[in-house]
Each structure stands twice: as structure tokens, then as C-alpha cells.
Amino acid sequence: MDFQHDAGLDAFREEVRAFVREDLPPDLANKPVGSVRSMRPDLARWQQILNRKGWGAPYWAKADGGTGWSVLQRLVFDEECVAAGAPTQDGFAQKLLGPALNAFASAEQKAEHVPHILDGSRLWCQGFSEPGSGSDLASLRTRAERDGDFYVVNGQKTWTSYAHESDWIFMLVRTDATVKKQAGISFLLVDMKTPGITVRPIRSIDDCHHLNETFFDNVRVPVANRIGAEGDGWTITKFLLNNEHASAADLPILRRGLSRVRTLAAAQRAGREPLIAQPAFALRLARLDAEVNAIAMMVQRVAAMESDHSPLAHAMGSILKVRGTEAQQRITELMTEALGDYAAVAYPEPHDACLGEPLPQQDVGRGIANDMFFRRASSIYGGTNEVQRGIIAKMLFQL
């Protein structure tokens, strides 16, 4: 790990900053993000702009159509985009499915899907979790039975983020119930327009619709849509979930959150003083600031372990996930407190990120309480923090 000043990285930051300044249309900047993914039209427009620049896949190798950036470059790119309020990319396609396609898919499968990921014309959702199969994912029961050149899929997925506005789903199915549970799982790509798929909304405590239950009723999926061999699903899943440890803490989001707390606390008053000058509040803010700086150092450490597949590298990804999500929760709680009564005004009105229109007269507190409620889930999705702690213990202490 090297904490020396990196002039090359500074130059890269300038390049990204200049690009974002020039090419991010003002009407796309600082639009509300529905939990973690931007609204479809915003995301697609920004993806096209990035793709024209050759930056359509910041996380992939050059040979796969990506930028070939280092982990630190990717972090810089993310930081500059978040700071400028750019829309998000499709994280499911970019960080999960994409690397799995690049590693395991056939040339035909890549030719079918990669161009649509790059130009933003095909959005993806992830169909892993089922009722009763979340942390214990390998116990999943959605069946795929062979019928000639098709699988017939029956079952239910749950918590399927953005299924209602995705074109395709990558999902895990049970193709063999007679072998060890991990060995009977296969990885399928399914067009969401296929007859037999029903998506039902789950409205979450942040009062948004991003979650769904997804039902599969005799859904016919070409065998050609399977990635890898039958029974390879678990291997692909382990690969896909172990990617991108350095981004597990969502550092750019933490930094943006802290800066928002500062702005709010400078504008709000506690008696005669600005809230930010109140010692108890200032102390909590300083502690969070120190925590985010510590996380930033850890991210650098993980970035330096890019091609390291040791138990330590694995554990570091889990540590970042736990500390990053806990910091996210504390930052959004502090932000809500800083808003005081305004937070209650902004909630439970529907979050404008769901409606696509700003709410009148709520510029200060727009979406803050909703975000605070949504972040309760950050220690659940992507593998719960309790499970992460189990991984840390296993990797570091062989427990």
C-alpha cells in the first residue's frame, strides 16, 4: 500500500472532472436517485453519454469493452460523478452481471448482451433471493426443468430491486434437486417480457417502490440463455459476489452525505447558534468525519490488494461493507436530526424520486428522511452485516 501523492491519479481526476463538467447536461445533474439506481430515462441518457466517451463500463477490462481502469481510478471516477450529481449507472449490469458474462459467457451470449449494457438500452435486475432463501441462498427452490431446448421455470423470487423497470433478469434456478444443494444450481438470463412472469411491488419504509416480488409460472427460457454449464450457478455466483471489494463501502456516497450534513447543520439554528457550532452535534459530526477518513484509508488498502484472493482480501471486503453501511446509517440519521421538524414534513409524503417530480417547498429536506429509512436496509442487502461478520471471523480467525 502506498499513500504517497499520485500525480497520475490527480491528472486522471482532472480529466474526469472536466468531462463531467462539459458533458453532464445540467438537467440531468442532481436529480433524485430512487434508493440506489437513478430513474430509467436519466440512467439511460447518462449511460449513452459515457459510452460515446468510451467510458460505458468503468469496471471492466479493456478486452471486454471496458475502460481497463485501476481500482483507484474507478473510485476517482465514482467520486467525481457522485460529487457532480450525475445519474447512476446500472450497478447490477456493471458490477455483477458484466464481470460474470466476461468470465463465463459464450461469445454469442456476450455479443447478445454486452452492447446493450454499454449503450444503456437493456436494464437488469438480480433474481437471487427467495422467501426463505436469502442468507442461505443455496437453499433456493425456484425450479428449472428441461423440455427440449427450453427450461420451464416455476417459483418465486423476492426483494427483486427494479424488476418493474428492468428488461432482463439474471437469476439462479434449481436444475437438479438430487445432488448437494450448491451443485444443483444454474445461472439463467431471462427476458422479463417472457409470458408467465408477474412482478408485484413491495412498498418499503422509505415510501418508494424499488422492491418487488417476482413470480415465475411455467416460464419458457431457451437453454441457450444459461451461463456456464448446468450446475455451474454456484461457482458463478461466488465469483460475482466476490467482485469489487473496494466499492463495498460506497465511499463517494459517504463523502457526499457528510458534506450534506455540514451544509444543513450550518443553515439550521440551535438557539442562537448555527447547529454546526453546538458542541454535542459538532462532536458527532467530527467522529463521523474521522470514521469516513478511516474507511477511505481502508479502501486504499483494499485497492492495493486488487488481484489478491487471500482470506485477508476477502475479509477486507466484508469489513468495508459493515463499516461503510453502518456509517451510511449514522450519517443519514444525523442528517435527519439536523433537519429537525422539516424531516417530518418531508416524510411520509411520497419521495419525489418515486414520482420523478420535485415536491414544492421542500428543497431543504427533499428525500432526506426517506433516505434515512432506506439506509436501514443497507446492512441487509448485498449480504447482511451479521453474515459479513461471520465471513470475517472465518477468513481471519478460521472460526
Which lies closer to ligand FAD via its Cβ, residue 228 or residue 390?
390
Specify whether the CB–CB gap between 199 and 238 falls below 8 A: no
Q: Which segments of 236-331 are extended strands (E)?
A: 269-270, 273-274
- Cβ 80 to ligand FAD shortest distance, Å: 26
Q: What are phi and psi of 262, to 5 degrees?
A: -60, -45
- Cβ 277 to ligand FAD shortest distance, Å: 36
Which lies closer to ligand FAD via its Cβ, residue 67 or residue 318?
318
Q: Which is the catalytic residue, given 244, 326, 333, 357? A: 244
Specify whether the CB–CB gap between 40 and 165 falls below 8 A: yes
Distance CA 345, CA 205 (A): 16
CA angle 254, 257, 261 (to 5 degrees): 140
Q: Which stretch binds ligand FAD (CB under 6 A): 49-57, 223-231, 364-372, 380-388?
A: 380-388
Sole binder of ligand FAD in the list 377, 391, 392, 395 (CB under 6 A): 377
- Residues with Cβ within 8 Å of residue 202, at least 6 apart in sequence: 158, 159, 209, 211, 212, 213
- Residue 244 annotated in active site: yes
380 counts as binding ligand FAD under rule CB under 6 A: yes
161 counts as binding ligand FAD under rule CB under 6 A: yes
- Cβ 195 to ligand FAD shortest distance, Å: 22
Q: Is 207 exposed, middle or buried (0-12, 13-18, 19+ CB in 10 A)?
A: middle
Q: Which stretch binds ligand FAD (CB under 6 A): 65-73, 141-149, 195-203, 384-392?
A: 384-392
- Cβ 72 to ligand FAD shortest distance, Å: 28
- Cβ 380 to ligand FAD shortest distance, Å: 4
Q: Which three cell numbers stand for residue 143?
A: 425450479
Sole binder of ligand FAD in the list 126, 247, 318, 328 (CB under 6 A): 126
Which lies closer to ligand FAD via its Cβ, residue 46 or residue 170?
170
Residue type, 185: I
Residue nearest to ligand FAD (CB): 134
- Cβ 210 to ligand FAD shortest distance, Å: 7
| End-to-end Cα, the chain, rounded Å | 27
318 counts as binding ligand FAD under rule CB under 6 A: no
Q: What are phi and psi of 177, to 5 degrees?
A: -95, 0
Q: Which three cell numbers stand for residue 102?
A: 466476461
Residue type, 138: A
Q: Which of residues 196-215 bind ligand FAD (CB under 6 A)?
A: 211
Sole binder of ligand FAD in the list 94, 129, 156, 237 (CB under 6 A): 129
Which lies closer to ligand FAD via its Cβ, residue 321 or residue 330?
321
Q: Which three cell numbers stand for residue 376?
A: 436501514
Binding mask 130-159 for ligand FAD (x = CB under 6 A): ----xx-----------------------x
Q: Which stretch binds ligand FAD (CB under 6 A): 56-64, 109-117, 280-288, 385-393?
A: 385-393
Which lies closer to ligand FAD via its Cβ, residue 10 or residue 136?
136
Q: Which three cell numbers stand for residue 131?
A: 422467501
- Residue 29's SS3 state is coil
Which lies closer to ligand FAD via its Cβ, residue 73 or residue 379?
379
What is the β-pairing status of strands 226-227 and 185-191? antiparallel
- Cβ 155 to ligand FAD shortest distance, Å: 13
Please state the separation of Cα 131 from the chain's center in Å: 21
Sole binder of ligand FAD in the list 160, 175, 237, 318 (CB under 6 A): 160
Summarize the chain as % helix, strand, coil (round to 5): 55, 15, 30
Eight-class DSSP state of 122: S
Specify whether the CB–CB gap between 373 and 311 falls below 8 A: no
Residues of this chain that interact with ligand FAD (CB under 6 A) are 125-129, 134-135, 159-161, 211, 377, 380-381, 383-384, 386-387, 390
Catalytic residues: 244
